[in-house]
Amino acid sequence: MVTFLVRRFARMIFVLVVTTFGALVAVTEWGDPFKIIGDRMQTPEARAMLNETFGLDQPLVVRYLRFVGNLATGDLGIDFERRRPVFDQLAAAAPNTFRLALAALAIQVVFGVTLGIVAAWLHRSFTDMVITAAAIVITIVPLFVLGVVLRHTLSGVSVFGWEAFPLIPRSIGIETSWLQDLFLPAITLGVGALAYTVGLARGSMLEALGADYVRTARAKGLTERKIVFKHAARNAMIPVAELSAMQLGALMGGSVMIEAIFQYPGLGYLFVRSMNENNHPVMLAITLYSVAAFVVVLMLADVVTAWLDPRIRTGD
C-alpha cells in the first residue's frame, strides 16, 4: 500500500508541474497585459517599466521557478488589473464554486442513481424504455445549449412572488442571494451529467441483479424490494461513486462555460474575466487550483478504491 501511495503522489506532482508550466507558456503567448490599460494605449516606456516591475521581462524558466517558489509561501501574485492579491480573489470565488459543485453532484447522484435503479429493476418495461431514451436525449444535447435554453426560459421568473431565478444579464445595484445564483447553473450541470449516472447505475444494477448472491437471496425468500435496494444496489454503486469523485474533482475547479452563461460568481467566471483582461496571475492561479483539486480528488478516490479492492494496488 505504501508503494501504491508513493506512486500516486509522484504522479500527482508530475501532473501539477507539467500543467502549471504549460499554463505559464499559454498565458505568455496571450500577449502583453500592459499594452492597453483601461481604454488607453500605453507607451513603450510605460509597458517596459510595468513588465520589469512584475518580472515579465525575465526568461520563461526564471519566471516559472519564481512562481513555484512563491507557491511555497502561499503567494499567488498580484492582480494586474486591480493590484489586489490573487489569493483574496480565489478565496472569494472558490466557496461559490464548491457550493455549485456539491449542488450539481447532489442532483446528478440522487436522481441519476434512483432512475438507474428503477430502470434496472423494471428491465425491458415501458418505464425502462422511457428512462433510457430520456438519458440518451440528454446526452446528445450539448451542455451549453441546455444552459442557454434554461437562461432564456427561466431568467427573471418568479415563484409565488419570489424571484427564484434572477434576471440575466445582471442589473447593476440588484443584490441576489447565493441560493438564487445557484439554482440555474446547478440544475444545468446536474442534469447535464445525469445521463451518464443513469446509464452507469442501470448497467451496474443489471450486473448485480444477475450475481450469485442475489440468486441466493431470492432462494431464501427475501422480498424483491429488499433484494434490490439492500443487497444489489449497495454493490452496484461502487462505479457510480468513482464517477461522482471524478465529477466532483472537475466541478471544484470551476465550470467556465456554465458559470459564464449564468454570470455565476465562481472560479470559472473569474477565469473568463481574467482572460478578457489578459490577467496572467489570476489565470495561472485558477489553473493551478483547478488541476490540484481534480488530481487530489482522483488520488483520494484511487486510494479508497485500492483499499476496498487489494487487486488494484497490487496490479499497479
47, part of any domain: no
User: Which pLDDT tens digit goes with each residue over 99-141?
Assistant: 999 999 999 888 988 898 888 888 889 999 999 999 888 888 8
- Cβ partners under 8 Å of residue 105, min gap 6: 190, 244, 247, 248, 251
Query: For residue 127, what is the domain's CATH number?
Result: 1.10.3720.10
> Bigger pLDDT: 5 or 99?
99
State residue 79's pLDDT score.
87
State residue 186's pLDDT score.
92
Work out the average pLDDT over 252-259.
83
Is 298 exposed, middle or buried (CB count within 10 Å of its CB: 0-12, 13-18, 19+)? buried
CA nearest neighbour of 292 among 3, 10, 20, 5 = 20
Q: What's the pTM?
A: 0.79
Domain that holds residue 228: 93-314
Q: How many CA atoms lie within 13 A of 76 on its CB side?
A: 22
State residue 24's pLDDT score.
82
79, part of any domain: no
232, part of any domain: yes
Work out the average pLDDT over 47-69.
83
165, part of any domain: yes
84, part of any domain: no
Judged against a pLDDT cut of 60, whether residue 38 lies above it is answered with no
Do the Cβ atoms of 152 and 238 come closer than 8 Å? Answer: no
Number of compact structural domains in the chain:
1
User: What is the grid cell recorded at 294?
Assistant: 481534480
80, part of any domain: no
Can you state the percent helix, strand and coil of the chain, rounding each to 5?
75, 5, 25
Q: If you count them, how many residues does the chain have?
A: 316
State residue 93's pLDDT score.
92
246, part of any domain: yes
243, part of any domain: yes
User: Which pLDDT tens digit goes with each residue over 259-301?
Assistant: 999 999 999 999 998 888 888 889 888 988 888 888 888 777 7
Do the Cβ atoms of 290 and 253 come closer than 8 Å? Answer: yes
Judged against a pLDDT cut of 80, whether residue 205 lies above it is answered with yes
φ, ψ of residue 162 in degrees (nearest 5)? -105, 130
